[in-house]
Each structure stands twice: as structure tokens, then as C-alpha cells.
Chains A and B, each alone.
Chain A
Amino acid sequence: MAKLTLSEFQHLFSQASLRPENTGVDPSLLNGIIPGGTLTSDAAIEVYRTGHIVRLTEALGETFEAVWWVAGDEHYFQLAKEFLLTHPSASYNLSDFGKLFPDFLDKRQPFSDLPFLADLARFEWLFKEIFHLPQHTSLTADQFHQHPLSGNLRLSFGPSIRVFQSPYSVYEIWKLRGTIQNSLPEKIWGTPQWLLCYKHQQQVYIKHVSEPEYLLLGHLIAGASIEESLDRTLQEFSDITATTVSDLFTVIKHTEIVTLLTENTAPISGDADL
């Protein structure tokens, strides 16, 4: 048997670590190693293959804690293994692993009685992303009050500010994670929800908003002016009231999510140096 080059070894080793259950290891790899301890060559390769599965399963579980809780250990481990063997990590950072897990669950639909699982995973991925984003410096309430809100005003939001919607009450399920539940009846998860997700003093906060508020916020976050945002929201909710808009701006002020107000060329910023 010819000696393997380093590159050949690394490719064969990777294949062996990612191979499906009950498939054999390439004989040239087995012949090219000496197992440690009292392991056989197959068992030595299996140490690494198992280690890979355990490591990525745990990493996935740290991000998707509620999905794990809902699915239960046995089903979660099965789903995680299926996912990690078909979606190899391409990042140097283990905590990046799992970006495609919500899509995987969406396609896989592992539980007919738990249709919210993919959305719950999307929420958990978003929560993780927000956690690692920087804390912004917001406008103070005084700065906000000093500036009259006019139609052509644009609001800049902190980089961690997101809106999220789901036909299921995923935030309520997420809050239950880790508790003992005999079942998850539809009355717990069957209500649609719209959420504002933001960071304050490096903590992630979630706040319920109404659907019109969600749409309006989404347009504002996307960079539209107040007038443009209102026009676009009115196309879907023609009965939106002044009170709704006023209430939303109260929320925006109190959550301290805005960093800059821009009207014409005179910006008002939450940054200390402006």
C-alpha cells in the first residue's frame, strides 16, 4: 500500500468522519494509521467521528435550546445528526453552525403535531445573532422630544434591532424551555405574533407589537421616512389610527432603539461625539 500524502489523508479522514451510519472506512485510511490504546483502527476513527457528532450536536443545542426541549432528547439527537452529516460546517467558528437548521426543519417537518418548530428555530437563531451584535448608543428621551416628528424624518436604528413574525407563538414556547410540560397544546402556540427584538445594556429584549406596528417598524428599520412608512402600512391596514402610530412612537422612544434622526441634512445622533 502506497503511503498517503498529507492531503490524501485529510480528505479520507474527513470522508470517514462524515460518513453515514453503517458504512465502512476506506481501507487505505485504515492501513495508514496505528490505533491508540487498545482500540482497533476502525474504533480509533470512530472516536473522532463520534466526537464530531457530539461536538456539533452540542453546539447546535446551545443555539436551538428550545427546539431541543420541544423535540426531546431522542428526536433532537436524531435530527441534529441528520442535519450535521448533510450540512457540514464551512465556518471556522463552531457557533456559526446551524444557520440552515431552520430551513432544514422547514423542509423536514419532523413532527406533524408541532408545525411551529422551524419558526421556533428561526427565532432562536435571530436571538443568537442579536446577542452577538454590538450595543448601540441611543438617542436620549430629551433628544427625541426636542425634535418634532415630521413626515420626512428618517429614523436610524441600532444594529441589533430586528422585527420578527410567525403564525405561531414561538416566543411563548421559547420562554417555557427547560420547564416540565406534559404536552404543548395548540392554545399555547396557535396564535400569530409580531415581535420587536432589541438590545439594551447588552441584554436582549423581546416586545410584542401588533401587526400594523410590525409593518410600520419594518419600513422604518428598512430606511423609509415616517411618511413613506405610513403610506406603505396604510396599503395593508387602511384603518390604522393616529393612536396606533402614537403608541408605536412611544414604544420606540422607551425602548431606546433609535440612534439617529435625519431630516434634510441636519442629523441628530445618539453618539456622544456628534
Chain B
Amino acid sequence: MPTQAPNIGVGLRPTHYPHLEPRPQTKVSWFEAISENYMDSKGRPLDMLELIRTDYPVALHGVSLSIASTEGLRKNYLHKLRNLVKRIDPFIVSDHLCWTGLQQQNLHDLLPIPFTDEALTLIVEHIDQVQTFLQKPILLENVSTYLRFPCGDYTEWDFLQAVSDRSGCQILLDLNNLYVNAHNHRFDSSMFLEKIPTQIIGQVHLAGYTDMGTHLFDTHSKPVYPAVWDLFSSLIARAPDLPVLIEWDEDIPEFSQLEEEALKAAHIWNDHHGQTHTQRISTPVFSSFS
């Protein structure tokens, strides 16, 4: 079993601040911070993020960009995100391929979109606006959904590829979400994975779902399930250099349990590629956007 998890990160959550504040040695290589938790705070959260940043690479992961909103992007949001990006110098900036509600009725959820040409055109236009404004490429994550649309022009995997091809942005592939959607919408998760070219994937998320009986629900409240580890194993065999994140947002365990999950990912990586992989992410994965 490996004792360090190269390329494996975990989410930075306030419940772990007391553990991380004395700057202990950890088994993880990087942290992912929820952008919105730091964009509007000049208090302890931002201090903690800057402290972590002195020792680790940091990715900024947003939940409120609402890239598929038909009402357009929020300018004040983009300004605050750009300020945070300048301050933290993250190696990845990401958000979700979804909308979150109307501007005056924000539902604060990762809401489904139809995989249509209309949605694709809108999203690509918005990605261009964001990347131009930030002067940095972004990654967009596939989301779990509990409904889909009869009017789709694309499958989900074709839509992800089309978004990437037309915008130049990469995909943050959440394997838990992929599995949840495969179950909920009755498609083969392995086939989905085979259809996605690895070069459009810029990062991987791993998390746990909850079985509601009628559907699988994306709760991030459990360890990664065996079926999701299997997808990870299949993907990492083909794409060894992807940064991988263990996500846990509800019923958050001790930091040591997150580290154990990270080491499981490292163990699977070693099964495919041996124990020579010692790279820590210390420089930006992506070159400057131009």
C-alpha cells in the first residue's frame, strides 16, 4: 500500500481547518477549494486557503458559474472569481456543466440541461466569455441528473466532447456522476468512459452516492463505491497523469479517512503503472490561456 498519493488531492473543507492549520505532513498532493467560499470572505477561510497554498497546489472549483444560464453570466461573479484566481494562482479553475437557477431565483443546485444544439451554442459562447475574461482555460464537470430530455440532439458523452471541441475547455470528469447517470438513465457506464477521449479530460473527481431506492442521488456523503473505483481503474490505465480528487461534502469524516481514500486511488494507480510515479503537482498543469 502506498504511503503517499501523488497527483491525488482532497477537497479543502472548514471542518478540517483545525487539523490543517498547524501545517502537518499529509498524504495528499493538492487541495481543491470551493471558489465561492473564498470569493466573498476576507476572514479566516481566506487565511486558511492562503496557508494551504503556501504548501500545496490548489485547484479552484466553483458551483455558481451557471454556464448554461439563458440569462447570461453574472459580471460581479466573474470579477470576484478573477480576483481570487489572481490571488491564489490555482493550477485548475473549474465549475459545472449546468445552470443553477435564474438570477433572481437562484436555486443553488447543479441543474440539468438538454443536450441540444441550442444549449451547446449558448454554453460555448459563455465558455469563451469566461476564458477570455479570466485569461485562463477552465474545466467543466459533468453533473448527476435525475431527469433527462426527449429532445436531445446528442448523447451526454457526445455533448461533452462537442463542448470541449468547440470551446477548447477540458472536462472535469466526475466518475461518481457518470455512474449515477448511467444507473438513472440506463446506459452502460463503461461504454460512456470508452467514448470519451482522454485528451479532453483535465481532472477526475471521485465521490460516493446514496441509493434512494428509486434512483441514485449524488450526495458526496460516502466512500467511493467499488463500481466507481472500477471506472477509475479503467480510466487511469489509459490516462496516468490526470489529477484526481476525492470529494466529500456531507457527513465529512476525519481528515485521515480522506487520506485513506486518496491512498486507495494511489494504490490503483500503482497497479497499472508501478511505483515509479512520484510526481507532485507543483507547477500549473496548463499553460497560460491565449
**Taking beta carbons and an 8 Å cutoff, which residues of A are in contact with B?**
3-7, 9-11, 13-14, 17-18, 32-39, 41, 43-45, 47-48, 51-52, 55-56, 59, 88-97, 131-135, 199, 202
- Cβ of B195 < 8 Å from any Cβ of A? no
Would you mind naming 25 contact pairs between A and B with Cβ atoms under 8 Å apart?
A6-B114, A14-B101, A18-B105, A32-B150, A34-B150, A35-B146, A35-B147, A36-B146, A36-B181, A37-B212, A39-B147, A39-B214, A47-B147, A47-B215, A47-B217, A92-B76, A92-B77, A92-B106, A95-B36, A131-B41, A131-B43, A132-B40, A132-B42, A202-B43, A202-B44
**B113 in the interface, Cβ–Cβ < 8 Å?**
yes
B230 CB-CB contact with A under 8 Å: no
Enumerate B135-189 residues with CB–CB distance to A below 8 Å: 145-151, 181, 183-185
**For chain B residues 67-85, which have a beta carbon within 8 Å of chain A?**
68-71, 74, 76-77
Q: How far is the CA of A5 from the CA of B145 in the complex (A)?
A: 19
A5 in contact with B118 given A39-B214, A92-B106, A93-B64 (CB within 8 Å): yes
Interface pairs A-B: 3 shortest CB-CB: A37-B215, A36-B184, A134-B42
Type the 1/0 row for B97-132, where 1 means its CB is closer than 8 Å to any CB of A.
001111111111101011010110010000000000
Q: Are the CB atoms of B43 and A90 closer together than 8 Å?
A: no
A117 CB to closest chain B CB (Å) equals 25
Question: Given A132-B40, A134-B43, do A34 and B147 touch, yes or no (CB 8 Å)?
Answer: yes
CA distance A126 to B254 in the complex (A): 30
Instruction: Check: B55 CB closer than 8 A to any chain A CB.
Output: no
Q: Is residue B39 within 8 Å, beta carbon to beta carbon, of the partner chain?
A: yes
- Whether A37 touches B216, Cβ cut-off 8 Å, given contacts A6-B70, A6-B114, is yes
A93 touches B146 (CB 8 A): no
Contacts of A134 in B (CB 8 A): 42-43
5 more A-B residue pairs beyond the given contacts A44-B146, A56-B108, A59-B108, with a C-beta to C-beta distance below 8 A: A6-B118, A7-B70, A35-B146, A38-B215, A132-B43
* Smallest beta-carbon distance B217→chain A, Å: 7
Which residue of A6, A7, A94, A199 has the most chain B CB atoms within 10 A of its CB atom?
A6
Q: Is the CB of B151 within 8 A of A91?
A: no
Partner of B107, one of A3, A9, A48, A93: A48
- Chain B residue numbers with a CB within 8 Å of A133 are 42-43
B271 within 8 A of A: no
Closest beta carbon of chain B to A173's beta carbon, Å: 24
Knowing A6-B114, A91-B106, A92-B36, say if A39 contacts B146 (CB, 8 Å): yes
Question: What separation, in Å, do the CA atoms of A3 and B119 have in the docked complex?
Answer: 13
Query: Which single member of A9, A10, A13, A55 contacts B108 (CB below 8 Å)?
Result: A55
B194 close to chain A: CB less than 8 A:
no
Give the chain B neighbours of A34 by CB distance below 8 A.
147-150, 185
- Are A202's CB and B47's CB within 8 A? yes
B122 touches A10 (CB 8 A): no
A90 with B103: CB separation less than 8 A: yes
Contacts of A135 in B (CB 8 A): 42-43
- With A and B bound together, what is the CA distance between A59 and B64 in angstroms? 15
Residue contact A45 to B147, C-beta cutoff 8 Å: yes
CB A109 to nearest CB in B, in angstroms, measures: 27
| Pairwise interchain contact A89-B214, C-beta atoms closer than 8 A | no
Which residue of B68, B74, B99, B147 contacts A33 across the interface (Cβ within 8 Å)? B147
> Which among A44, A90, A96, A202 is the interface contact of B104 at CB below 8 angstroms?
A90
Contacts of B101 in A (CB 8 A): 14, 17, 89
**Complex CA–CA separation, A261 to B194 (angstroms):** 67
- Are B122's CB and A6's CB within 8 A? yes
Determine whether the beta carbon of B77 is less than 8 Å from that of A32.
Answer: no
Q: Which of A38, A41, A88 contacts B106 (CB 8 A)?
A: A88
Which of B37, B43, B113, B151 has the most A CB atoms < 10 Å from its CB? Answer: B43
Q: Which residues of B contact A47 (CB under 8 A)?
A: 146-147, 215, 217
CB distance from A254 to the nearest CB of B (A): 22
Decide if B104 touches A88 in the complex (CB within 8 Å). Answer: yes
Interface centre among A18, A38, A88, A91 (most CB of B within 10 A): A91
Q: Is A37 a contact of B104 with CB atoms below 8 Å?
A: no
Give the CA-CA distance A112 to B6 in the complex, in Å. 59
Contact partners of B113 in chain A: CB under 8 A: 6
Q: How distant is A267 from chain B, measured CB to nearest CB, in Å?
A: 23
A3 near B151: Cβ-Cβ < 8 Å:
yes
**Contacts A35-B146, A131-B44: A14 and B107 contacting too (C-beta < 8 A)?**
yes
A94 touches B108 (CB 8 A): yes
Closest Cβ–Cβ distance, residue B91 to chain A (whole Å): 23
Interchain CA distance A36-B184 in the complex, whole Å:
5
In the complex, which residue of chain B has the Cβ closest to the Cβ of A90?
B104
Q: How far is the CA of A7 from the CA of B69 in the complex (A)?
A: 8
| A34 and chain B: residue at smallest CB distance | B148
B185 in contact with A36 (CB, 8 Å): yes
Which chain B residues border A43 with CB–CB below 8 Å? 214
Give per-residue flags for B212-239: 1 if the beta carbon is below 8 A from chain A beta carbons, else 0. Answer: 1011110000000000000000000000
